[in-house]
Amino acid sequence: MPFPLFLRGFVITLVVFAIANYAITHSLFTTIVNTVICAVLVQVGYFAVILLMVWRSGAPNKNSADSKDQESTLAEDGKPKGKAAPLPGVGRSPLR
């Protein structure tokens, strides 16, 4: 998610929270304190989700197994073993 999109949603959420909190408590000080607490909790939750996503992406997954399989299908000269079927309607590369 792009940062400006996140920031816009974050600010809108905090403004709505502050308005609702002020409507309930009728106290500016309580509204400010509660809004700061809400902002910190949202940031901690966001950090935890990002940490979880990074942790899960570092775990061994299918991609590492695919790269091992792909290495075994290469011949000694680095070209794929066997012959690939040409795509219909696609001509040969002029580089060959």
Residue range 77-86, pLDDT digits in tens: 655 566 666 7
In a domain, 45, yes or no: yes
Amino acid code (one letter) for 4 = P
Q: Residue 67: exposed, middle, or buried by beta-carbon count in 10 A (0-12, 13-18, 19+)?
A: exposed
Instruction: Identify whether the C-beta of residue 11 lies closer than 8 Å to the C-beta of residue 35.
Output: no
Q: What is the pLDDT of residues 16-38, one digit of tens each?
A: 999 999 999 999 999 999 999 99
Instruction: Give how many domains the chain has, as a whole number.
Output: 1
Residue 44 counted as domain residue: yes
* Domain that residue 31 falls in: 3-56
Inside any domain, residue 87: no
Per the domain annotation, does 46 fall within a domain?
yes
Give the mean model confidence (pLDDT) for residues 5-22.
94
DSSP 51-92: HHHHHHHHS--HHHHHHHHHHHTB-TTSSBSS-PPPPTT-PP
